[in-house]
Structures are given as C-alpha cells and as structure tokens.
Structure 1
Amino acid sequence: MRTVRAVVAARAMSGEYSSSVMEGGAGLIGGGSTEAGSAPDAARADEPGAASVDILDSTGRLPTAHVGWLGDHLRRALGLLGAAGEVRVRVLADQAMSESHARFRGVEDTTDVLTFDLSGPGRPLDVDVLVCLDEAERRAEELGHPRQHELLLYMIHGVLHCLGHDDHDPEARARMHAEEDRLLRAIGVGAVFHAPGGGGSA
C-alpha cells in the first residue's frame, strides 16, 4: 500500500530540537558531516517576495543538476501555494535518517520524510525537512519513475503538513495526496503519488 509519512515537530514540542537547529548542533540542516567523505551539493533558489529553498545533499550521491532541479521545482510548488518564508531540505541516506527518526520520534528505523515546523502562528514558513534518498530510490524503482520525482513528492508532502494538511484519517489523506499530485502536475512533473502503478490510495 502506497504511503508517504511525515512527522511534524512544532517548536513547542521540543525545545531541544529548536535550540539545536538554531545553533546548528543537531547536524540536520546546517551542521554535521557528510557521508562517505563526499562533499554535499547545495541548491538555493529565492527572490524578493518568494519562498527561499535550500537543499543540501548529505549523501553526495545526487548530481548537482538533480539538486538544482529539486530546488527549482520545490520553489515553483511553493509559489503555487502562495507560501513565503524559508524551507531547508537535507537529503540523507538510510543510516542518518534512521538515527534522526530514533532521536526525534523514538523509532529505530528509516522513513521517507521528517518535517520540523519552526514557524510561528501566522508567520512565513520556517521549515526543516529531512528526506531519505535510499527510500526514494527503492520506491522509484518499484513504481518506475525517477528518484528525484519521489524526493520532490516527499518535500512537498512535508511542506503541506506545515500549511495545515494532515493525513490522520482516510479522507484527509486522500485530500492531501490529491493536492500533492495537483501541484506536481502544475509544475510539469506529473502525478507521482497516484502515478500509474503507484498503488493509488494511502
């Protein structure tokens, strides 16, 4: 069964997370070492009045062109949503994602996306997103689409949580995944969650 999971940690939920992000001590977005000694690729796309997007590939496995593609397309999706603020994305491998999942949610296993909402009420987006490249590669191979499309789905899913969407019941999940695919179609990628062979419902 096709699922995309996101965990949203509000600032009030974890003072430890909030302070460590501000100081770069958590090693999630702004700090930490790269894996396998690879230098990370980063993409930044912003302009006045638009959302700022930063993508850091901590795995060193994504071509620079793919990192840039992800940044450009995520920013376009945010533009369609009318979202302003900052979204910072870090691409991790299974081990680093498992460590983050265990640290912040107590689950000792990898996952596709973890989202940390640092935005204040009524304020522009201030969001950290962790996405797992290994999980994206597994799903992309299974479903027959590029891994960067799967990664982009995870990023959009995480941001939508911070804009009020949830997937706690079947109807809400259906609405959320329909919105993901609407955005992906609108920016020229095409449906990913409900793509042919994608399994359809969550």
Structure 2
Amino acid sequence: MDDDPSEPPPTNDDDPGPEHPARFELVDPDRRLTEPQRAEIRRHVADALAIIGRPGEVRARIVGDDEMADAHTRYKNAHGTTDVLTFDLSERGPLDTDILVCADEADRRAKELGHPATHELVLYIIHGVLHCVGFDDASPADAEAMHREEDRILSAVGLGPVFAPGQGGEP
C-alpha cells in the first residue's frame, strides 16, 4: 500500500473514536418516534456515553406498555409496565448492554414534569448504563447518588436535570 501523505488515513466507521468510547444503537421497530426524535436521542446518548467513558456497546429498544409489561413479568417476575429494563451482558469488561425503554411511560412522565418525552427516554437509557458501571438505586442513599449522577450527565449534554427538574440536579 502506498503511504501518500496527501490522502487522509482510512477510517473505520465502526470505531466510535475517542470522543464516544461506546457504540450506541437505537431500535424503534414500531416507529413510535420520528426520525428527528431518534436522532436527538442518539446524539444525547452518544454524548452521555462519552462522559461515562466506558467502551463497548449499548443497544436500546423503544417499546410500548404491553411489550414492557411482558418483559417485566418475564425477567423480573413483576407485573405491570416500568420505565426501563437493563440487561448487562458484560462481565467487568467493555459495556455489552441491552436496554428496553418504555415510550408510553416516558410520555406519561414527561407530561407530568413538563419536558419532552425524548428527554425522559435519554434519562432511562443513561439510568440503564449507570447500573452497568456500578451505580445502584436499591437504598435511598444509593438512589440519591444515582439520580444526582443522571442529572449531572443530562445537564452536561445540554438537557438539564430531568429526574429532578428545577432542583439543580438534587432529587
């Protein structure tokens, strides 16, 4: 191969590069969101993953109440819908994460809080990733620390606090 300095080096489109150490895939099989909404989520999550700084892959699937309730029962033995279910397939290495996020729950919660549902979905995805990097929300103190980190990241990517809006990121 000729090393011509006038030609740019070849690129690997699969390599997320140093700014985005984890690859992110958003799947919306039922087309619940518009393409601009999906693009907004992809952009904010990619920026959030760069802040989190863990390499690997994160896949998020947008679902409705019925599919989420089925998954909630199947994987957590809990009935009814929920906002997010995270499946951490990695073992202390790079992220290998599948996340289900519920668009119907995001719509309800966003209306309650007065912000776009896309912001709520970004929150759910970040929440799932934080579980995979060591955060937990089982105790009140752990939940407070996790929600503070969520709002710190959401503010850093330009969305402002979503979990605790109007409270400066403090839940």
Q: Which segment drifts farther, 138-147 or 55-64?
A: 55-64
State whether structure 2 residue 154 is matched by structure 1 residue 160. Answer: no
- Higher RCO, 1 or 2 (CA under 8 Å, sep at least 6)? 1
Q: State the partner residue of 2:26.
A: 55
Provide TM-score, normalisation by structure 2: 0.86
Letter in 1 for 2:16: E
Q: Which segment drifts farther, 134-143 or 103-112?
A: 103-112
Gaps of 5+ in 1: 1-44
State the Cα distance separating 1:78 from its structure 2 match.
0.9
State the Cα distance separating 1:59 from its structure 2 match.
2.9
Letter in 1 for 2:105: E
After superposition, the C-alpha distances for 1:123-174 in whole angstroms (9 at most, x for unaligned) are 1000000000000000000110000000000000010000000011111111
Gaps of 5+ in 2: 1-13
Letter in 1 for 2:23: S
Provide TM-score, normalisation by structure 1: 0.73
Letter in 2 for 1:73: H
* Distance in 2, Cα, partners of 1:116 & 1:60: 22
State whether structure 2 residue 72 is matched by structure 1 residue 101. Answer: yes
Q: State the partner residue of 1:178.
A: 148
Which of these residues, 84, 90, 98, is aligned with residue 113 of structure 1? 84
Which of these residues, 63, 66, 91, is aligned with residue 37 of structure 2? 66
RMSD of aligned residue pairs (Cα, Å): 1.7
State the Cα distance separating 1:68 from its structure 2 match.
1.2
Contact 1:46–1:53, Cα closer than 8 Å, also in 2: no
Larger Rg: 2
